[in-house]
Amino acid sequence: MLQSTSTRLVPSLDIQPNNRKLDIAFRHAGITSNDKWFSWAINPNDDLTSSMNGGQALVAITQSSGSLRAYTSSIMNFGTKLAESNISYSHSKLSATHANGEAAIL
């Protein structure tokens, strides 16, 4: 579990002869129907003074239909709006789910 939050990262490693894949699910408990978005980011800069500038985020936002849409966002400055953009890490099949008060970005 991540410090001071009701979130956790769930890794899964799949090693095939010519392919290695790491799947990570970010899970956040305590999500209600009033919550509009949630996110998890990693800051590859190794510089705590820069805050989250340079962070690479996975974001899930609630659509008007009530379903979740997952996307990536690169945090470039303190005024970020978490706009959809490419991140530095390759990824595939990004999705989000919400059930029983827990939401996940997969």
In a domain, 2, yes or no: no
In a domain, 100, yes or no: yes
CB 73 within 8 A of CB 87: yes
| Domain total in the chain | 1
In a domain, 101, yes or no: yes
Which residue has 């959809």 as its token pair?
84
pLDDT at 50: 66
CB 96 within 8 A of CB 106: yes
pLDDT at 76: 83
pLDDT in tens, the chain (106 residues): 444 467 777 777 777 777 777 777 888 887 777 778 888 888 777 666 667 788 888 999 988 888 889 999 998 887 778 899 998 887 778 889 888 888 888 8
pLDDT at 71: 93
In a domain, 1, yes or no: no
The pTM for the full model equals 0.77
In a domain, 13, yes or no: yes
